Structure 1
Amino acid sequence: MMEYKGYLAHTELDDEANIFHGEVINIRDVITFQGKSVDDLRQAFQDSVDDYLAFCAERGEEPEQPFAGQLTVRLSPEQHRQVILAAEKAGKRLERWVADVLTQATRLQRGPKAGKVA
């Protein structure tokens, strides 16, 4: 995973073509890039983000901002009911309860040493 100016990119190696490919993943607009080495890939990523920002400015449009802080989740009616009940039982507003649960889940994903300073 690469990060530049708040934009995150997923990268992978095309072993047959002997080239790295990448794509920004935290916006709906499509930003892709490629490079023959890690340094080339990193530079292409930064150049592509900068080009995207310049293109938006030229058109007088606001670039899409990564991680706007909103998340839409589709649930079955039963899941929705269970989530509402769990939030109420915890004495929290739904948005706060969901944010707390997701924060706890991401900490578990990172493992027991995540967030600890040695």
Structure 2
Amino acid sequence: MENVLSYKDYIGTVSFSNEDEIFYGKIHGINDLVTFEGTTVKKLKASFEESVDDYLATCKELNKLPEKTFKGSFNIRITSDLHRKASLIASQKSISLNDFIKKAIAFAINHENEIDCAQ
């Protein structure tokens, strides 16, 4: 995975501001907006880890769960042709469209390194 840092099961995405000559990012999968930055890769990594540690300590002090809650349902926007094809495959497999999408997501997660996200 490119432009991603990982620490204590948390991930942070990384970007670069050419104008400010700084690396910056934010932690994902949490209930708040927590950012980090650094002028070098070493400083960026240290800032990310410090931000994770600080966030976890703050959550503990506030008796708050740090991880974002996912309810298990979400809306997606796809083309009508893709919707039709998925529905047809689900019908051929005698499963609901919802079950087909769950299986497709599980398959993608289990094969994440094979997915070309450039499309």
TM-score (norm 1): 0.68
Alpha-carbon distance change, 21 to 108 in structure 1, aligned in 2, over 3 angstroms: closer
Separation in 1 of the partners of 2:60 and 2:30?
17
Point out where structure 2 has 5 or more consecutive residues left out of the alignment: none
Q: Which residue of 2 aligns with 1:7?
A: 10
Q: Which residue of 2 aligns with 1:60?
A: 63
Point out where structure 1 has 5 or more consecutive residues left out of the alignment: 111-118
1:33 and 1:44 in contact (8 A); partners too: yes
Separation in 2 of the partners of 1:63 and 1:45?
16
Number of matched residues? 108
Separation in 2 of the partners of 1:57 and 1:72?
29
Q: Secondary structure at the match of 2:32?
A: coil
Query: Following superposition of structure 1 onto structure 2, how do residues 74-89 of structure 1 map, counting pairs within 5 Å?
Result: 74-75=76-77, 82=84, 83=86, 86-89=89-92
What's the offset of the Cα at 1:17? 1.8
Q: Secondary structure at the match of 2:95?
A: coil
Deviations, residues 7-44 of structure 1 (Å, cap 9, x unaligned): 22111111222211111133342110011111111111
Amino acid at match of 1:72: F
Q: Which residue of 1 aligns with 2:72?
A: 70
1:29 and 1:64 in contact (8 A); partners too: no
Separation in 2 of the partners of 1:42 and 1:70?
31
Query: Following superposition of structure 1 onto structure 2, how do residues 14-25 of structure 1 map, counting pairs within 5 Å?
Result: 14-25=17-28
Q: Secondary structure at the match of 1:24?
A: strand
Separation in 2 of the partners of 1:36 and 1:53?
24
